[in-house]
Amino acid sequence: MKAAVWYGSRDIRIEDIATPEPGPGEVLLQVSRNGICGSDLHTYVGSDTGGAAMHVPGVVLGHEFAGIVREVGEGVTDLAVGTAVAVAPMEWCGTCWSCHHAWPQMCRKLALYGGYRLPLHGGLAPFVAVSRRSCYPVPAGLGVVEAALTEPMAVAVHAVRRGPSTLGATVLVLGAGPIGLGVLQAVRAGGAQATIVTDLSPARRAAAHTLGATAVVDPVGGDLRSAVRDIARQGVDIVFDTTASSVAFNQGIALVRPRGTIVSVAGWQEQARVDMGRAMVNEIDIRYSMTYEPETDFPATLAMLAGGGFDSATMISDHIPLERLVDDGLEELLHHADQHIKILVDPS
């Protein structure tokens, strides 16, 4: 079968590999779609920081995927062939302190399908073998193609759960990429009174309007301070930063109310320069969100997708074939990310 195999910086090859067989406790999936993540871009260009620096060469990329169970391995008795599933692409030790607290995303031996830390092939291939525990059945009313959004939207759901209650809250979302737009939808589902979204991209700002933001602002060309004051004179209750930009993060510090909360759900690739003095005098809570807790966040996300809480049609901007992954996927996002939200790859 053809697969997208990563060998190093800007060296992804579409090549033939053997179709996998499920081992004990595993299932074989026929992949329906695999989304391209910002972290895939960091891996593609050869970032030497964060998770991208820990990828294993010679492994099939892809960690945002859903598919159909085609075969089950020994010991798998509760998942039938033909079941559509979304994959939480984590493997964890189960014995460390974080695992004992049901926080596998912080496991000291955390590995991801797609080659982070261990040679676990990912979803950019027609078939992939994954552990049974990583599979979450797709509920009625949700297509398996759209279920490929589960992984990134679970990041947004987890970020919202890491913050205080959004019921009746005023919320500022910094950045309208896939995660920022996911956060927007999740806080609205959680009863936010008003939402403000910022982004440099006109297309992404338009998507935020479509998804129901109260106000949408260009953070450079617009007047974000006035937009916030029109809605919450004392400052917003909660800020979600998805940008990994010190400038944007400090905007959040300036615009959250005293004793408000900032949640960082950004893939930082460098050390931040944060206005800690201003955060201190206003007793601002700064929290961090790391991916998701699969057992909690995946069922909640699948239910939201099935119930229309996440607008799949707006979130999915393109479908491309596997052989166009580099040119129409990775390179396109590197140079024209502002024109896209989520590109899904069809590896069939």
Q: What percent of the chain has pLDDT over 70?
A: 99
Structure tokens at 88: 């939480």
CA distances from residue 120 to 257, 319, 323, 330 in whole angstroms, order as listed: 44, 24, 21, 21
CA distances from residue 192 to 169, 232, 285, 292, 341 in whole angstroms, order as listed: 5, 13, 19, 21, 23
Our CA dihedral for 216, 220, 222, 226, rounded to 10 degrees, sits at 90
Which residues of the chain does CATH 3.40.50.720 include?
154-288
CA distance 149 to 342: 8
pLDDT tens, position by position, 248-297: 999 999 999 999 999 999 988 889 999 999 999 999 999 999 999 999 99
- Name the average pLDDT for the chain: 96
Q: Does domain 154-288 have CATH number 1.10.1670.10?
A: no
pLDDT for 137: 98
pLDDT tens, position by position, 122-158: 999 999 999 999 999 999 999 999 999 999 999 999 9
Q: How confident is the model at residue 27 (pLDDT cuts 50, 70, 90)?
A: very high
According to DSSP, the residues that pair with 321 across neighbouring strands are: 346
Which residues of the chain does CATH 3.90.180.10 include?
2-137+311-346
pLDDT tens, position by position, 172-226: 999 999 999 999 999 999 999 999 999 999 999 999 999 999 999 999 999 999 9
CA distance 53 to 42: 9
Helices 294-307 and 150-162 sit at what angle, rounded to 10 degrees? Answer: 110
Class of domain 2-137+311-346: alpha beta
pLDDT for 283: 98
pLDDT for 50: 64
Q: What phi and psi values does residue 80 have, to the nearest 5 degrees?
A: -85, 150
According to DSSP, the residues that pair with 14 across neighbouring strands are: 4
Q: What phi and psi values does residue 132 have, to the nearest 5 degrees?
A: -60, -40
Higher pLDDT, 49 or 112: 112
